[in-house]
Amino acid sequence: MINTSQGKASAFSIPRFEKPPLLGWLLLVAVLTFLIGSFRTVEIAPERVSRGFSRVLQIGREMIPPRVDRIVPLIQQALVTLQIATLGTLIGIGVSLVAGNYACRHVSHPYLTASIRSFVAIVRTVPELIWGLLFVACFGLGPFAGVLAVAADTFGFCGRFFTEAFDDVEDRELEGLRGLGATPFGQFLALILPQSIPNLVHTSLFALERSVRASIVLGLVGAGGIGVELDVAMRLFRYDEASTVMLLILVLVLLIERISESVRRQIRPYSQAS
Amino acid sequence: MSKTVLDVSHLTMRYENQTNATLEDVSFRIEPGERVALLGANGVGKSTLFRILLGLLPFNSGTIKRFGVETVGRGGGKVLRSFRCQVGFIPQNHGLSPTLSILSNVMHGRLGQGNVWRRCFQSLASKEERDEAIQCIRQFGLESKALSRCGQLSGGESQRVTLARAFFGRPKLFLADEPAASLDPSIANEMMASLSNQAIETKATLLFATHNLEHAMKFSDRILAIGNRRIRMDAATEGLQMEELQTLYD
Protein backbone atom coordinates (compact mmCIF):
# COMPACT_ATOMS: atom_id res chain seq x y z
CA MET A 1 0.00 0.00 0.00
CA ILE A 2 1.26 3.50 -0.79
CA ASN A 3 1.89 5.67 2.22
CA THR A 4 0.54 9.02 1.06
CA SER A 5 1.45 10.94 4.19
CA GLN A 6 5.06 9.94 3.74
CA GLY A 7 4.93 11.01 0.09
CA LYS A 8 3.59 14.43 1.06
CA ALA A 9 6.25 14.89 3.73
CA SER A 10 9.06 14.09 1.29
CA ALA A 11 7.55 16.40 -1.35
CA PHE A 12 7.47 19.30 1.12
CA SER A 13 11.04 18.64 2.20
CA ILE A 14 12.34 19.48 -1.34
CA PRO A 15 13.68 23.04 -1.20
CA ARG A 16 11.80 25.30 -3.64
CA PHE A 17 14.62 27.69 -4.35
CA GLU A 18 18.20 27.56 -3.30
CA LYS A 19 20.14 30.81 -3.08
CA PRO A 20 22.87 30.66 -5.76
CA PRO A 21 26.49 30.92 -4.63
CA LEU A 22 28.54 34.08 -5.28
CA LEU A 23 30.01 32.57 -8.45
CA GLY A 24 26.48 31.99 -9.75
CA TRP A 25 25.58 35.67 -9.18
CA LEU A 26 28.76 36.78 -10.90
CA LEU A 27 27.98 34.56 -13.87
CA LEU A 28 24.45 35.97 -14.08
CA VAL A 29 25.78 39.55 -14.02
CA ALA A 30 28.33 38.66 -16.75
CA VAL A 31 25.64 37.15 -19.00
CA LEU A 32 23.32 40.14 -18.51
CA THR A 33 26.17 42.58 -19.26
CA PHE A 34 26.98 40.67 -22.44
CA LEU A 35 23.35 40.74 -23.57
CA ILE A 36 22.96 44.49 -22.88
CA GLY A 37 26.26 45.08 -24.72
CA SER A 38 24.94 43.05 -27.67
CA PHE A 39 21.81 45.21 -27.90
CA ARG A 40 23.97 48.35 -27.94
CA THR A 41 26.34 46.88 -30.57
CA VAL A 42 23.57 46.02 -33.01
CA GLU A 43 21.97 49.44 -32.40
CA ILE A 44 18.40 48.33 -31.96
CA ALA A 45 16.35 51.47 -31.93
CA PRO A 46 12.55 51.85 -32.36
CA GLU A 47 12.92 54.48 -35.11
CA ARG A 48 15.23 52.16 -37.09
CA VAL A 49 12.76 49.29 -36.73
CA SER A 50 9.83 51.39 -37.96
CA ARG A 51 11.92 52.87 -40.82
CA GLY A 52 13.08 49.37 -41.82
CA PHE A 53 9.57 47.97 -41.64
CA SER A 54 8.23 50.64 -44.03
CA ARG A 55 11.16 49.81 -46.37
CA VAL A 56 10.16 46.13 -46.19
CA LEU A 57 6.66 47.06 -47.34
CA GLN A 58 8.07 49.23 -50.14
CA ILE A 59 10.41 46.46 -51.38
CA GLY A 60 7.54 44.00 -51.09
CA ARG A 61 5.40 46.21 -53.34
CA GLU A 62 8.27 46.51 -55.85
CA MET A 63 8.64 42.73 -55.89
CA ILE A 64 5.10 42.22 -57.15
CA PRO A 65 4.53 41.23 -59.88
CA PRO A 66 7.70 39.18 -60.43
CA ARG A 67 9.52 40.06 -63.65
CA VAL A 68 9.47 37.19 -66.12
CA ASP A 69 11.24 38.62 -69.17
CA ARG A 70 14.52 36.90 -68.12
CA ILE A 71 12.85 33.71 -66.97
CA VAL A 72 14.77 31.44 -69.40
CA PRO A 73 18.32 32.49 -68.31
CA LEU A 74 17.13 32.43 -64.68
CA ILE A 75 15.85 28.85 -65.06
CA GLN A 76 19.18 27.97 -66.67
CA GLN A 77 20.99 29.42 -63.66
CA ALA A 78 18.67 27.47 -61.32
CA LEU A 79 19.69 24.34 -63.20
CA VAL A 80 23.34 25.31 -62.78
CA THR A 81 22.71 25.58 -59.03
CA LEU A 82 21.14 22.12 -59.08
CA GLN A 83 24.11 20.79 -61.04
CA ILE A 84 26.58 22.36 -58.59
CA ALA A 85 24.66 20.84 -55.66
CA THR A 86 24.27 17.39 -57.23
CA LEU A 87 27.82 17.07 -58.51
CA GLY A 88 29.34 18.51 -55.33
CA THR A 89 27.21 16.19 -53.18
CA LEU A 90 28.14 13.14 -55.27
CA ILE A 91 31.85 13.93 -55.04
CA GLY A 92 31.51 14.57 -51.29
CA ILE A 93 29.62 11.28 -50.81
CA GLY A 94 32.22 9.35 -52.84
CA VAL A 95 35.11 10.75 -50.82
CA SER A 96 33.17 10.16 -47.58
CA LEU A 97 32.61 6.50 -48.50
CA VAL A 98 36.30 5.93 -49.14
CA ALA A 99 37.28 7.85 -46.00
CA GLY A 100 34.55 6.04 -44.04
CA ASN A 101 36.02 2.66 -44.99
CA TYR A 102 39.44 3.71 -43.65
CA ALA A 103 37.92 5.44 -40.60
CA CYS A 104 35.79 2.42 -39.68
CA ARG A 105 36.99 0.96 -36.38
CA HIS A 106 36.07 -2.59 -37.41
CA VAL A 107 38.38 -2.87 -40.41
CA SER A 108 41.01 -0.16 -40.07
CA HIS A 109 44.10 0.52 -37.99
CA PRO A 110 43.33 2.67 -34.91
CA TYR A 111 45.90 5.34 -35.91
CA LEU A 112 44.44 5.64 -39.41
CA THR A 113 40.93 5.75 -37.96
CA ALA A 114 41.88 8.57 -35.56
CA SER A 115 43.72 10.56 -38.26
CA ILE A 116 40.84 10.42 -40.74
CA ARG A 117 38.27 11.28 -38.09
CA SER A 118 40.33 14.31 -37.03
CA PHE A 119 40.65 15.45 -40.64
CA VAL A 120 36.89 15.11 -41.18
CA ALA A 121 36.29 17.10 -37.97
CA ILE A 122 38.56 19.90 -39.22
CA VAL A 123 36.80 20.01 -42.62
CA ARG A 124 33.43 20.10 -40.84
CA THR A 125 34.31 23.14 -38.73
CA VAL A 126 34.76 25.33 -41.85
CA PRO A 127 31.43 26.77 -43.12
CA GLU A 128 30.57 26.32 -46.81
CA LEU A 129 30.83 30.08 -47.43
CA ILE A 130 34.47 30.06 -46.35
CA TRP A 131 35.12 27.06 -48.61
CA GLY A 132 33.45 29.05 -51.41
CA LEU A 133 35.65 32.11 -50.82
CA LEU A 134 38.74 29.90 -50.68
CA PHE A 135 37.97 28.00 -53.88
CA VAL A 136 36.92 31.15 -55.77
CA ALA A 137 40.29 32.66 -54.79
CA CYS A 138 42.11 29.49 -55.93
CA PHE A 139 40.18 28.47 -59.05
CA GLY A 140 38.45 31.68 -60.07
CA LEU A 141 34.78 32.69 -60.26
CA GLY A 142 32.21 30.19 -61.49
CA PRO A 143 30.49 26.87 -60.83
CA PHE A 144 33.72 24.83 -60.51
CA ALA A 145 34.59 26.63 -57.27
CA GLY A 146 30.99 26.05 -56.17
CA VAL A 147 31.21 22.31 -56.83
CA LEU A 148 34.43 22.06 -54.80
CA ALA A 149 32.93 24.05 -51.93
CA VAL A 150 29.80 21.87 -51.86
CA ALA A 151 31.96 18.73 -52.05
CA ALA A 152 34.09 19.88 -49.10
CA ASP A 153 30.99 20.76 -47.07
CA THR A 154 29.34 17.41 -47.91
CA PHE A 155 32.52 15.53 -47.00
CA GLY A 156 32.58 17.20 -43.57
CA PHE A 157 28.94 16.28 -43.02
CA CYS A 158 28.72 12.81 -44.58
CA GLY A 159 32.21 11.79 -43.46
CA ARG A 160 31.10 11.94 -39.85
CA PHE A 161 27.70 10.30 -40.22
CA PHE A 162 28.93 7.56 -42.58
CA THR A 163 31.66 6.62 -40.12
CA GLU A 164 29.14 6.51 -37.29
CA ALA A 165 26.84 4.30 -39.38
CA PHE A 166 29.72 1.91 -40.13
CA ASP A 167 30.65 1.81 -36.45
CA ASP A 168 27.08 0.82 -35.52
CA VAL A 169 27.64 -2.65 -37.00
CA GLU A 170 28.50 -4.95 -34.12
CA ASP A 171 31.85 -6.65 -34.00
CA ARG A 172 30.28 -10.04 -33.25
CA GLU A 173 28.31 -9.86 -36.51
CA LEU A 174 31.55 -9.48 -38.45
CA GLU A 175 33.17 -12.51 -36.84
CA GLY A 176 31.18 -14.81 -39.11
CA LEU A 177 32.90 -13.30 -42.15
CA ARG A 178 36.29 -12.94 -40.47
CA GLY A 179 36.09 -16.62 -39.60
CA LEU A 180 35.64 -17.38 -43.31
CA GLY A 181 38.85 -15.54 -44.20
CA ALA A 182 37.30 -12.30 -45.48
CA THR A 183 39.75 -9.42 -45.82
CA PRO A 184 38.94 -6.10 -44.07
CA PHE A 185 37.72 -4.70 -47.40
CA GLY A 186 35.65 -7.85 -47.97
CA GLN A 187 34.03 -7.42 -44.56
CA PHE A 188 33.33 -3.79 -45.37
CA LEU A 189 31.81 -4.56 -48.74
CA ALA A 190 29.86 -7.66 -47.70
CA LEU A 191 28.42 -6.63 -44.36
CA ILE A 192 29.29 -3.16 -43.09
CA LEU A 193 28.31 -1.28 -46.24
CA PRO A 194 25.06 -3.15 -47.04
CA GLN A 195 23.92 -2.96 -43.44
CA SER A 196 24.58 0.79 -43.36
CA ILE A 197 22.89 1.58 -46.69
CA PRO A 198 19.55 2.80 -45.28
CA ASN A 199 21.49 5.14 -43.00
CA LEU A 200 23.78 6.26 -45.81
CA VAL A 201 20.85 7.02 -48.11
CA HIS A 202 19.13 9.10 -45.40
CA THR A 203 22.32 11.05 -44.73
CA SER A 204 23.03 11.53 -48.45
CA LEU A 205 19.54 12.86 -49.16
CA PHE A 206 19.83 15.24 -46.25
CA ALA A 207 23.24 16.29 -47.58
CA LEU A 208 21.70 16.97 -51.01
CA GLU A 209 19.03 19.19 -49.45
CA ARG A 210 21.74 21.08 -47.56
CA SER A 211 23.85 21.35 -50.70
CA VAL A 212 21.04 22.92 -52.74
CA ARG A 213 20.65 25.63 -50.09
CA ALA A 214 24.42 25.99 -49.78
CA SER A 215 24.95 26.31 -53.54
CA ILE A 216 22.41 29.16 -53.65
CA VAL A 217 24.34 31.01 -50.93
CA LEU A 218 27.64 30.18 -52.64
CA GLY A 219 26.48 32.15 -55.68
CA LEU A 220 26.69 35.28 -53.50
CA VAL A 221 30.47 34.85 -53.28
CA GLY A 222 30.81 34.27 -57.02
CA ALA A 223 30.69 30.49 -57.08
CA GLY A 224 28.08 30.42 -59.86
CA GLY A 225 24.42 29.52 -60.09
CA ILE A 226 21.24 31.35 -59.23
CA GLY A 227 22.80 32.98 -56.18
CA VAL A 228 24.77 35.25 -58.50
CA GLU A 229 21.52 36.38 -60.17
CA LEU A 230 19.97 37.13 -56.78
CA ASP A 231 23.04 39.10 -55.72
CA VAL A 232 23.03 41.17 -58.92
CA ALA A 233 19.27 41.83 -58.80
CA MET A 234 19.43 42.99 -55.18
CA ARG A 235 22.48 45.21 -55.79
CA LEU A 236 20.80 46.86 -58.80
CA PHE A 237 17.53 47.32 -56.82
CA ARG A 238 15.70 45.11 -59.35
CA TYR A 239 13.38 43.70 -56.72
CA ASP A 240 10.86 42.36 -59.24
CA GLU A 241 13.59 40.22 -60.77
CA ALA A 242 14.83 39.25 -57.29
CA SER A 243 11.34 37.97 -56.46
CA THR A 244 11.42 35.76 -59.59
CA VAL A 245 14.74 34.35 -58.44
CA MET A 246 13.34 33.74 -54.94
CA LEU A 247 10.34 31.90 -56.39
CA LEU A 248 12.65 29.74 -58.48
CA ILE A 249 14.73 28.98 -55.37
CA LEU A 250 11.55 28.03 -53.51
CA VAL A 251 10.51 25.67 -56.32
CA LEU A 252 14.02 24.16 -56.45
CA VAL A 253 14.22 23.53 -52.70
CA LEU A 254 10.68 22.10 -52.53
CA LEU A 255 11.38 19.86 -55.52
CA ILE A 256 14.51 18.40 -53.93
CA GLU A 257 12.68 17.90 -50.62
CA ARG A 258 9.85 16.07 -52.39
CA ILE A 259 12.25 13.82 -54.30
CA SER A 260 14.23 13.01 -51.19
CA GLU A 261 11.05 12.26 -49.20
CA SER A 262 9.91 9.90 -51.93
CA VAL A 263 13.26 8.06 -51.94
CA ARG A 264 13.13 7.83 -48.13
CA ARG A 265 9.72 6.15 -48.42
CA GLN A 266 11.18 3.64 -50.88
CA ILE A 267 14.03 2.61 -48.58
CA ARG A 268 11.92 2.46 -45.38
CA PRO A 269 11.39 -1.34 -45.64
CA TYR A 270 15.16 -1.82 -45.88
CA SER A 271 15.68 0.27 -42.73
CA GLN A 272 13.15 -1.87 -40.88
CA ALA A 273 14.77 -5.09 -42.11
CA SER A 274 18.19 -4.08 -40.85
CA MET B 1 50.30 -38.27 -44.74
CA SER B 2 47.78 -35.49 -43.99
CA LYS B 3 48.69 -32.97 -41.35
CA THR B 4 46.88 -32.78 -38.04
CA VAL B 5 44.05 -30.29 -38.53
CA LEU B 6 44.24 -28.72 -35.09
CA ASP B 7 46.94 -29.28 -32.51
CA VAL B 8 46.22 -27.30 -29.36
CA SER B 9 48.81 -27.52 -26.62
CA HIS B 10 48.59 -26.10 -23.07
CA LEU B 11 46.28 -23.29 -24.15
CA THR B 12 45.39 -20.76 -21.45
CA MET B 13 43.14 -17.78 -22.01
CA ARG B 14 42.03 -15.11 -19.57
CA TYR B 15 39.77 -12.18 -20.48
CA GLU B 16 41.23 -8.80 -19.51
CA ASN B 17 38.61 -7.93 -16.93
CA GLN B 18 38.52 -11.35 -15.25
CA THR B 19 40.73 -12.75 -12.53
CA ASN B 20 40.18 -16.43 -13.38
CA ALA B 21 41.19 -17.95 -16.69
CA THR B 22 38.34 -18.98 -19.01
CA LEU B 23 40.44 -21.83 -20.43
CA GLU B 24 43.44 -23.29 -18.64
CA ASP B 25 46.02 -25.74 -19.92
CA VAL B 26 43.73 -27.02 -22.67
CA SER B 27 45.34 -29.57 -24.99
CA PHE B 28 43.84 -31.70 -27.76
CA ARG B 29 44.48 -32.78 -31.36
CA ILE B 30 41.98 -33.19 -34.16
CA GLU B 31 42.97 -35.39 -37.09
CA PRO B 32 41.69 -35.05 -40.68
CA GLY B 33 38.21 -36.44 -41.26
CA GLU B 34 37.29 -36.64 -37.59
CA ARG B 35 33.86 -35.52 -36.44
CA VAL B 36 34.25 -34.08 -32.95
CA ALA B 37 31.49 -32.85 -30.64
CA LEU B 38 32.42 -30.19 -28.10
CA LEU B 39 30.31 -30.35 -24.96
CA GLY B 40 30.15 -28.19 -21.87
CA ALA B 41 27.70 -26.13 -19.86
CA ASN B 42 26.88 -22.53 -20.79
CA GLY B 43 29.78 -20.16 -20.21
CA VAL B 44 32.54 -22.78 -19.98
CA GLY B 45 34.33 -21.27 -22.96
CA LYS B 46 33.18 -23.24 -26.01
CA SER B 47 32.58 -20.11 -28.12
CA THR B 48 35.79 -18.60 -26.75
CA LEU B 49 37.66 -21.72 -27.89
CA PHE B 50 36.15 -21.44 -31.39
CA ARG B 51 37.18 -17.78 -31.61
CA ILE B 52 40.69 -18.62 -30.45
CA LEU B 53 40.98 -21.45 -32.99
CA LEU B 54 40.02 -19.00 -35.74
CA GLY B 55 42.50 -16.42 -34.47
CA LEU B 56 39.73 -13.96 -33.65
CA LEU B 57 40.73 -13.80 -29.97
CA PRO B 58 44.22 -13.67 -28.48
CA PHE B 59 45.29 -16.18 -25.84
CA ASN B 60 47.77 -15.91 -23.00
CA SER B 61 49.91 -19.01 -23.33
CA GLY B 62 50.22 -22.29 -25.17
CA THR B 63 50.43 -23.07 -28.86
CA ILE B 64 48.00 -23.80 -31.67
CA LYS B 65 49.04 -25.50 -34.89
CA ARG B 66 46.49 -25.14 -37.65
CA PHE B 67 47.09 -27.61 -40.48
CA GLY B 68 50.58 -27.99 -39.05
CA VAL B 69 51.37 -24.26 -39.00
CA GLU B 70 51.77 -22.35 -35.78
CA THR B 71 50.63 -18.75 -35.44
CA VAL B 72 50.94 -17.19 -32.02
CA GLY B 73 48.07 -15.13 -30.62
CA ARG B 74 45.99 -12.80 -32.72
CA GLY B 75 47.19 -11.68 -36.13
CA GLY B 76 49.54 -13.78 -38.14
CA GLY B 77 48.10 -11.96 -41.14
CA LYS B 78 48.19 -13.99 -44.30
CA VAL B 79 48.85 -17.36 -42.64
CA LEU B 80 45.83 -17.00 -40.41
CA ARG B 81 43.66 -15.77 -43.26
CA SER B 82 44.71 -18.66 -45.45
CA PHE B 83 43.68 -21.03 -42.61
CA ARG B 84 40.31 -19.31 -42.30
CA CYS B 85 39.75 -19.70 -46.05
CA GLN B 86 39.80 -23.46 -45.47
CA VAL B 87 37.25 -23.23 -42.66
CA GLY B 88 33.47 -23.35 -42.89
CA PHE B 89 32.62 -21.29 -39.82
CA ILE B 90 29.06 -21.46 -38.54
CA PRO B 91 28.78 -18.86 -35.78
CA GLN B 92 26.05 -18.79 -33.16
CA ASN B 93 24.76 -15.37 -34.22
CA HIS B 94 24.69 -16.18 -37.97
CA GLY B 95 26.52 -12.98 -39.02
CA LEU B 96 24.49 -12.56 -42.21
CA SER B 97 24.05 -9.33 -44.10
CA PRO B 98 20.33 -8.52 -43.60
CA THR B 99 19.99 -6.16 -46.56
CA LEU B 100 21.52 -8.62 -49.05
CA SER B 101 19.85 -11.65 -50.62
CA ILE B 102 20.30 -15.24 -49.46
CA LEU B 103 22.27 -15.88 -52.65
CA SER B 104 24.72 -13.04 -51.98
CA ASN B 105 25.13 -14.19 -48.38
CA VAL B 106 25.90 -17.72 -49.51
CA MET B 107 28.48 -16.34 -51.99
CA HIS B 108 30.24 -14.80 -48.97
CA GLY B 109 31.38 -18.32 -48.11
CA ARG B 110 34.25 -17.76 -50.57
CA LEU B 111 34.85 -14.12 -49.70
CA GLY B 112 38.44 -14.79 -48.72
CA GLN B 113 39.16 -16.88 -51.83
CA GLY B 114 39.77 -14.36 -54.60
CA ASN B 115 37.91 -11.48 -56.22
CA VAL B 116 36.10 -9.65 -53.40
CA TRP B 117 33.57 -7.87 -55.63
CA ARG B 118 32.48 -11.10 -57.36
CA ARG B 119 31.98 -12.87 -54.02
CA CYS B 120 30.19 -9.97 -52.35
CA PHE B 121 27.24 -9.56 -54.68
CA GLN B 122 25.59 -12.44 -56.50
CA SER B 123 24.81 -10.26 -59.52
CA LEU B 124 28.55 -9.83 -60.17
CA ALA B 125 29.43 -13.51 -59.70
CA SER B 126 30.21 -15.94 -62.52
CA LYS B 127 27.43 -18.24 -63.73
CA GLU B 128 29.24 -21.34 -62.43
CA GLU B 129 29.60 -19.93 -58.94
CA ARG B 130 26.01 -18.74 -58.88
CA ASP B 131 24.80 -22.19 -59.92
CA GLU B 132 26.95 -23.78 -57.25
CA ALA B 133 25.62 -21.39 -54.61
CA ILE B 134 22.03 -22.10 -55.70
CA GLN B 135 22.78 -25.81 -55.37
CA CYS B 136 23.89 -25.23 -51.76
CA ILE B 137 20.72 -23.21 -51.09
CA ARG B 138 18.61 -26.00 -52.65
CA GLN B 139 20.10 -28.47 -50.17
CA PHE B 140 18.35 -26.52 -47.44
CA GLY B 141 15.07 -26.03 -49.28
CA LEU B 142 15.44 -22.28 -49.67
CA GLU B 143 15.83 -21.99 -53.46
CA SER B 144 12.44 -20.28 -53.86
CA LYS B 145 13.68 -17.54 -51.55
CA ALA B 146 17.18 -17.27 -53.03
CA LEU B 147 16.71 -13.60 -53.87
CA SER B 148 14.89 -12.66 -50.66
CA ARG B 149 16.70 -10.42 -48.22
CA CYS B 150 18.13 -12.22 -45.20
CA GLY B 151 16.57 -9.63 -42.88
CA GLN B 152 13.17 -11.14 -43.72
CA LEU B 153 14.06 -14.69 -42.69
CA SER B 154 13.18 -16.53 -39.49
CA GLY B 155 15.90 -17.63 -37.07
CA GLY B 156 15.79 -21.19 -38.41
CA GLU B 157 16.01 -20.06 -42.03
CA SER B 158 18.94 -17.78 -41.19
CA GLN B 159 20.72 -20.72 -39.63
CA ARG B 160 20.19 -22.75 -42.81
CA VAL B 161 21.69 -19.90 -44.86
CA THR B 162 24.71 -19.90 -42.53
CA LEU B 163 25.14 -23.64 -43.18
CA ALA B 164 24.73 -23.15 -46.95
CA ARG B 165 27.36 -20.40 -46.83
CA ALA B 166 29.77 -22.70 -45.02
CA PHE B 167 29.13 -25.53 -47.54
CA PHE B 168 29.71 -23.19 -50.48
CA GLY B 169 33.23 -22.43 -49.22
CA ARG B 170 34.21 -26.11 -49.78
CA PRO B 171 36.07 -26.11 -46.46
CA LYS B 172 38.49 -28.68 -45.13
CA LEU B 173 37.28 -27.98 -41.61
CA PHE B 174 33.80 -27.13 -40.34
CA LEU B 175 33.73 -25.16 -37.09
CA ALA B 176 30.11 -25.03 -35.98
CA ASP B 177 29.22 -23.17 -32.80
CA GLU B 178 25.88 -24.67 -31.73
CA PRO B 179 24.59 -25.01 -35.30
CA ALA B 180 21.20 -26.38 -34.25
CA ALA B 181 20.57 -24.02 -31.33
CA SER B 182 17.77 -21.97 -32.88
CA LEU B 183 15.98 -24.82 -34.67
CA ASP B 184 13.06 -27.02 -33.69
CA PRO B 185 13.99 -30.65 -32.89
CA SER B 186 13.14 -32.22 -36.27
CA ILE B 187 14.83 -29.48 -38.33
CA ALA B 188 17.77 -29.46 -35.90
CA ASN B 189 18.22 -33.17 -36.53
CA GLU B 190 18.02 -32.62 -40.28
CA MET B 191 20.57 -29.80 -40.16
CA MET B 192 23.00 -31.81 -38.07
CA ALA B 193 22.62 -34.75 -40.45
CA SER B 194 23.34 -32.46 -43.44
CA LEU B 195 26.41 -31.06 -41.74
CA SER B 196 27.71 -34.45 -40.74
CA ASN B 197 27.05 -35.97 -44.19
CA GLN B 198 28.70 -33.04 -45.93
CA ALA B 199 31.78 -33.52 -43.74
CA ILE B 200 31.87 -37.24 -44.56
CA GLU B 201 31.27 -36.74 -48.31
CA THR B 202 33.90 -34.03 -48.70
CA LYS B 203 36.31 -35.73 -46.29
CA ALA B 204 36.28 -32.58 -44.20
CA THR B 205 36.86 -32.43 -40.48
CA LEU B 206 33.99 -31.36 -38.24
CA LEU B 207 34.16 -29.74 -34.82
CA PHE B 208 30.76 -28.73 -33.48
CA ALA B 209 29.65 -27.38 -30.12
CA THR B 210 26.32 -28.60 -28.84
CA HIS B 211 24.18 -29.01 -25.75
CA ASN B 212 22.21 -31.77 -27.43
CA LEU B 213 23.67 -35.05 -26.17
CA GLU B 214 21.78 -37.11 -28.76
CA HIS B 215 23.40 -35.06 -31.54
CA ALA B 216 26.78 -35.55 -29.92
CA MET B 217 26.27 -39.33 -29.79
CA LYS B 218 24.79 -39.58 -33.29
CA PHE B 219 26.96 -37.24 -35.35
CA SER B 220 30.43 -37.48 -33.82
CA ASP B 221 33.28 -39.97 -33.69
CA ARG B 222 34.78 -38.35 -30.66
CA ILE B 223 33.63 -36.20 -27.79
CA LEU B 224 35.56 -33.39 -26.17
CA ALA B 225 34.09 -31.82 -23.07
CA ILE B 226 35.14 -28.66 -21.29
CA GLY B 227 34.44 -28.20 -17.62
CA ASN B 228 36.05 -26.18 -14.90
CA ARG B 229 38.27 -24.40 -17.48
CA ARG B 230 39.94 -27.64 -18.65
CA ILE B 231 39.30 -30.57 -20.97
CA ARG B 232 37.19 -32.84 -18.80
CA MET B 233 36.59 -35.59 -21.31
CA ASP B 234 38.28 -36.65 -24.53
CA ALA B 235 36.96 -40.00 -25.66
CA ALA B 236 35.71 -41.91 -28.69
CA THR B 237 31.93 -41.67 -28.98
CA GLU B 238 31.62 -45.38 -29.53
CA GLY B 239 31.35 -47.06 -26.18
CA LEU B 240 30.22 -43.91 -24.35
CA GLN B 241 26.90 -43.99 -22.53
CA MET B 242 24.42 -41.13 -22.42
CA GLU B 243 24.57 -41.19 -18.60
CA GLU B 244 28.29 -40.47 -18.71
CA LEU B 245 27.65 -37.40 -20.84
CA GLN B 246 24.89 -36.23 -18.57
CA THR B 247 27.33 -36.08 -15.66
CA LEU B 248 29.13 -33.30 -17.54
CA TYR B 249 26.16 -31.02 -16.84
CA ASP B 250 25.74 -31.96 -13.18
Contact list in B for residue A270 (CB cut-off 8 A) is 99, 149, 151
As a whole number of angstroms, the distance between CA A196 and CA B237 comes to 45
Which letter, b or e, does each residue of B68-79 get, where b requires 16 or more Cβ atoms within 10 Å of its Cβ?
A: eeebeeeebeee
Q: What pLDDT is stored for residue A273 in this prediction?
A: 47
CATH number, residue A87: 1.10.3720.10
Q: Is the pLDDT of residue A114 over 90?
A: yes
Has residue A49 been placed in a domain?
no
Cβ contact, residue pair B108, A189, below 8 Å: no
Give the one of B95, B117, B119 whose C-beta lies nearest to A175's C-beta: B95
Give the pLDDT of residue A2. 46
Among B48, B84, B99, B122, the residue to mutate for chain A (most A Cβ within 10 A): B99
Q: Which residue of B has its CA nearest to A199?
A: B99
User: What's the distance, CA A22 to chain centroid?
Assistant: 40
The parent domain of residue A267 ranges over 70-273
Q: Is residue A7 part of a domain?
A: no
Q: Going by C-beta distance under 8 Å and a sequence separation of 6 or more, which residues neighbour residue B118?
A: B124, B125, B126, B129
**What is the rounded distance in angstroms from the CA atom of residue A35 to the CA atom of residue A79?**
43
| pLDDT at site A270 | 66
Residue ranges of A 182-201 with Cβ closer than 8 A to chain B? 182-183, 185-186, 189-191, 194-195, 197-198
| Helix (H), strand (E) at residue B37 | strand B35-39
Number of A/B CB contacts below 8 angstroms equals 98
Indicate the pLDDT class of residue A274, thresholds 50, 70 and 90.
very low
**Does residue A10 form part of some domain?**
no
Question: Does A267 have pLDDT greater than 90?
Answer: no
Q: What pLDDT, on a 0 to 100 scale, did the predictor assign at position A259?
A: 92
Structural domain includes residue A120: yes
Distance CA A252, CA A76 (A): 12
Residues A265-271: contacts with CB under 8 Å, at least 24 apart: A267/A197, A267/A198, A267/A201, A267/A202, A270/A197, A270/A198, A270/B99, A270/B149, A270/B151, A271/A198, A271/A199, A271/A202
Tens of pLDDT, residue by residue over B82-131, are 899 999 999 988 888 888 899 999 999 888 887 887 777 888 888 888 99
C-beta of residue B36 within 8 angstroms of C-beta of residue B92:
no
> Complex ipTM, two decimals?
0.84
Closest by CA to B64, choosing from B89, B92, B32, B30, is B30
> Does B57 touch chain A if contact means CB atoms closer than 8 Å?
no
pTM listed for this prediction: 0.79
Does residue A42 fall inside a structural domain? no
Distance from CA of B214 to the nearest CA of A (A): 26
With beta carbons under 8 A apart, name residues in chain B contacting A201. Answer: none
B228 in contact with A, Cβ within 8 Å: no
As for how many domains chain A has, the answer is 1
For residue A46, say if its preceding peptide bond is cis, omega within 30 degrees of 0: no
Residues of chain B with pLDDT under 70: 1, 72-76
d(CA A84, CA A88): 6
**Which chain B residue has its CA at the smallest distance from A198's CA?**
B99
Per-residue pLDDT, averaged over A95-112, amounts to: 93
Domain for residue A225, yes or no? Answer: yes
| A11 part of contact set with chain B, CB < 8 Å | no
Distance from C-alpha of B68 to C-alpha of B3, rounded to nearest angstrom: 6
> Average pLDDT of A236-260?
92
Report the distance separating Cα B157 and Cα B195, nearest Å: 15
Per-residue confidence at A157, pLDDT binned at 50, 70, 90?
very high
- Compute the average pLDDT of residues A133-162: 94
- Angle, vertex CA A85, rays to CA A82 and CA A90, nearest 5: 125
Q: Is residue A213 part of a domain?
A: yes
What is the reported pLDDT for B30? Answer: 94
Does residue A249 fall inside a structural domain? yes
List the alpha helices (DSSP H) in chain B. 46-53, 77-84, 102-107, 116-120, 127-139, 155-168, 185-201, 213-219, 242-246
Is the CB of A39 inside 8 Å of chain B's CB atoms?
Answer: no
Q: pLDDT for A188-245, tens place per residue?
A: 999 999 889 889 999 999 999 999 999 999 988 888 889 999 999 999 999 999 999 9
Q: Cβ of B149 and A273 within 8 Å?
A: yes
Interval A67-89 mean pLDDT: 93
By CB atoms closer than 10 A (0-12, 13-18, 19+), residue A241 is buried
